[in-house]
């Protein structure tokens, strides 16, 4: 009997997604935002994403054995709800609510999931919905997808799930054991999010911008130690300043923030505009340093013994997308290998919940080697989209043969032109990895600025990342650590800083994808062609979208973006679309 489990996320009102496991194989996974064209798809259910997964696998709702959801009821007899009530003493309405109606969010979410399932054609009387604690889902998405056979330390850092904010545990023989959790408001992820808001970005969207800004600042200029401390094995966030609720929040134009007026008194007005300037770059640097230092202290305290034993660590939760922290973790002598779930944010909990239930039912899941899990489109569908599009695109089908597209596109890139690259199945998670990407030649001076100004319309100080051949990775990054998902930064070798300057950040690092050919042959072959033309088997790679929009899913989305930007070249499968220069 085959075991079919679908995971549906969206419990924390953002990043709904769906993931489908059949007999331990991750067959399909997608985020709702890509289909509905609304970044983070807030307050939606993963209807289109689930529909895609079922359609792709060719299965009917009646064939699904279990629906796993990454949110569960939390007992009043544990510490979580009491901790929340005690720490939020200044908002007694919230505290009492946590004690007397502490699973209200779970019940509301479950009702919405049931409505979504009915819309999809599920018979609720015959459908088993299995709740998995949010942080256990994160832990499963890291450990069960890592492929590690040895005893594995598991770390989870995010804003919060039901009540938990941080998870320490270990995996052994396919089972996850919880060592310790911290609870709201004691959340490093939440604190980083609050400072993200103070620095003028959106929480759950702008944290990587703070991380990109940090190298421009001096982390010793301002002492952020008053914001949080870790002592006697407990994390305590200072709720005089951040992770605040109710009346303690700072308000501006009717909107409440996760920091207090006291933070404004201390640091000055909230940042506005697109400039990364003094003192805000220093604040970003100080927050990043505090986050790194405290994460490493907590990791040592709870996971140090396991790491010294086997050296394996699996990491998920929004905090795991902090690539600078990950670079520091890899540098630790006791860490032999770090697996970061590529969709570490809440969209990845669909994979986590589904994998957890699969393993619980005796079907281990395979290692997650790639993220090409979304829809793909044929040449015929691409041509039909071109013919129907009001922009009347000029298109041609590039000659037959496996090398025709890589050769043609490599030449356009080497001539200094950015190219929108739409190939194969769409990626799952926040990183473009050669399925839906904008590419540039990293040795052409100014190509990053050109992409920023003409296409991405994003802040000038944000770094661009390289994808590279697996033969290049160890030379350029001075490391043999696996890096398939752009979840780590590496110190770039001096020679390569001069060779590919457009993908080296202010601090001399790159957030890199090191690709093995078996996972994306056409993208790999493009880089081989680039190596022939430029001497470097590296491309500049950023996601195929404009600022504030989700990554492109379909050919129609790609054409809409193409005509809404200054891009001149778009290749979708074997079809090249060229815009006439004005």
CATH number at residue 399: 3.90.870.20
Judge whether 142 lies within some domain: no
Judge whether 191 lies within some domain: yes
Q: In this structure, are 293 and 388 located in the same domain?
A: no
Q: pLDDT of 34-81, one tens digit each? A: 999 999 999 999 999 999 999 999 999 999 999 999 999 999 999 999
Split at pLDDT 50, 70, 90, the class of 455 is confident
> Residue 296, CB half-sphere, CA atoms under 13 Å: how many?
19
Domain count, the chain: 2
Residue 135 near residue 317 (C-beta atoms within 8 A):
yes
Judge whether 57 lies within some domain: no
Judge whether 206 lies within some domain: yes
Judge whether 42 lies within some domain: no
Residue 359 near residue 329 (C-beta atoms within 8 A):
no
With 90 as the cut, is the pLDDT of residue 88 above it? yes
Q: pLDDT of 15-40, one tens digit each? A: 999 999 999 999 999 999 999 999 99
With 80 as the cut, is the pLDDT of residue 525 above it? yes
Of the three residues 312, 340, 368, the one that is the final residue of a domain is: 340
Sheet with strand 337-340: strands edge to edge: 175-183, 164-172, 152-157, 312-316, 337-340
Here the CATH number for the domain that contains residue 328 is 3.30.420.40
Buried b (16+ CB within 10 A) or exposed e, 214-233: bbbbebeebebeebbebeee
Q: In this predicted structure, what is the pLDDT of residue 274? A: 75
Full 3-state SS string of 144-204 = HHHCCCCCEEEEEECCCCCCEEEEEEEEECCEEEEEEEEECCCCHHHHHHHHHHHCCCCCC
**Lowest mean per-residue pLDDT among 198-202, 462-466, 495-499:** 462-466
DSSP single-letter state for residue 527: H
Mean pLDDT of 503-510: 93
Of 62, 71, 64, 1, which Cα lies nearest the Cα of 28? 64
Q: In this predicted structure, what is the pLDDT of residue 582? A: 54
Q: In this structure, are 418 and 564 located in the same domain?
A: yes
Q: In this structure, are 321 and 405 located in the same domain?
A: no
Split at pLDDT 50, 70, 90, the class of 276 is confident
Mean pLDDT of 385-393: 96
Judge whether 413 lies within some domain: yes
Split at pLDDT 50, 70, 90, the class of 380 is very high
Q: pLDDT of 297-352, one tens digit each? A: 999 999 999 999 999 999 999 999 999 999 999 999 999 999 999 999 999 999 99
**C-alpha distances in angstroms, 545 versus 103, 420, 428?**
37, 9, 15
Mean pLDDT of 436-447: 96
Mean pLDDT of 168-181: 98
Host domain of residue 295: 182-340
Q: In this structure, are 556 and 460 located in the same domain?
A: yes
Mean pLDDT of 361-369: 98
State the Cα–Cα distance between residues 504 and 497, nearest whole angstrom: 6
With 80 as the cut, is the pLDDT of residue 459 above it? no
Judge whether 565 lies within some domain: yes
Q: In this predicted structure, what is the pLDDT of residue 581? A: 65
Judge whether 362 lies within some domain: no
Q: Where is pLDDT greater, at 268 or 273?
A: 268
Split at pLDDT 50, 70, 90, the class of 411 is very high
The answer to whether the predicted template modeling score (pTM) of the entire model surpasses 0.85 is yes
Q: In this structure, are 418 and 565 located in the same domain?
A: yes
Of the three residues 292, 323, 340, the one that is the final residue of a domain is: 340
């Amino acid at each position: 009997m085959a075991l079919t489990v679908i995971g549906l996320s969206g419990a924390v009102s953002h990043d709904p997604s769906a993931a489908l496991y059949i007999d331990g194989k991750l067959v399909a996974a997608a985020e709702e935002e890509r289909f509905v064209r609304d970044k983070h798809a807030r307050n939606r259910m993963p209807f289109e994403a689930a529909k895609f997964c079922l359609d792709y696998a060719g299965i009917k709702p009646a064939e699904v054995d279990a629906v796993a959801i990454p949110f569960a009821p939390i007992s009043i007899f544990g510490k979580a709800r009491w901790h929340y009530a005690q720490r939020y003493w200044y908002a007694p309405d919230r505290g009492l609510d946590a004690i007397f109606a502490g699973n209200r969010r779970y019940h509301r979410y479950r009702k919405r999931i049931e409505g979504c399932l009915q819309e999809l054609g599920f018979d609720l009387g015959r459908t088993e919905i299995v709740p998995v604690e949010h942080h256990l889902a994160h832990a499963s998405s890291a450990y069960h997808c890592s492929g590690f056979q040895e005893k594995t330390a598991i770390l989870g850092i995010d804003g919060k799930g039901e009540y938990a904010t941080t998870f320490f545990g270990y995996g052994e023989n396919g089972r996850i054991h919880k060592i310790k959790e911290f609870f709201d408001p004691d959340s490093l992820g939440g604190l980083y999010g609050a400072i993200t808001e103070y620095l003028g970005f959106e929480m759950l969207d702008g944290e990587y911008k703070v991380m990109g800004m940090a190298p421009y600042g001096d982390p010793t200029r301002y002492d952020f130690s008053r914001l949080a401390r870790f002592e006697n094995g407990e994390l305590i966030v200072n709720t005089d300043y951040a992770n605040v609720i109710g009346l303690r929040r700072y308000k501006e134009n009717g909107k409440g923030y996760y920091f207090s007026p006291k933070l404004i008194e201390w640091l000055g007005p909230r940042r506005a505009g697109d400039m990364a300037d003094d003192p805000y770059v220093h604040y970003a640097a100080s927050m990043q340093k505090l986050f790194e230092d405290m994460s490493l202290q907590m990791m040592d305290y709870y996971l140090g013994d396991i790491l010294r034993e086997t050296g394996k660590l699996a990491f998920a939760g929004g905090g795991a997308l902090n690539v600078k922290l990950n670079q520091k973790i890899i540098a630790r002598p006791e860490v032999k290998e770090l697996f970061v779930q590529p969709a570490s944010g809440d969209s990845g909990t669909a994979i986590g919940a589904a994998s957890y239930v699969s393993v619980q039912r005796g079907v281990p899941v395979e290692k997650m080697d790639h993220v090409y899990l979304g829809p793909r489109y044929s040449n015929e569908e691409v041509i039909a989209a071109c013919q129907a599009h009001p922009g009347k695109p000029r298109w041609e089908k590039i000659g037959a043969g496996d090398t025709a597209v890589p050769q043609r596109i490599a030449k356009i890139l080497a001539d200094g032109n950015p190219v929108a690259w739409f190939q194969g199945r769409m990626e799952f998670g926040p990183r473009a990895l050669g399925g839906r990407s904008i590419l540039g030649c990293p040795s052409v001076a100014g190509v990053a600025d050109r992409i920023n100004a003409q296409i991405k319309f994003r802040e000038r100080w944000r770094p661009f990342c390289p994808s590279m051949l697996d033969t290049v990775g160890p030379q350029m990054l001075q490391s043999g650590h696996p890096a398939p998902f752009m979840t780590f930064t590496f110190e770039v070798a001096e020679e390569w800083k001069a060779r590919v300057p457009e993908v080296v950040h202010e601090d001399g690092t790159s957030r890199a994808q090191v690709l093995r050919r078996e996972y994306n042959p056409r993208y790999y072959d493009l880089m081989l062609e680039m190596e022939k033309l430029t001497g470097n088997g590296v491309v500049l790679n950023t996601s195929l979208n404009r600022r504030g929009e989700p990554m492109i899913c379909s050919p129609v989305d790609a054409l809409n973006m193409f005509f809404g930007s200054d891009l001149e070249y778009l290749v979708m499968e074997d079809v090249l679309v060229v815009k006439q220069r004005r």
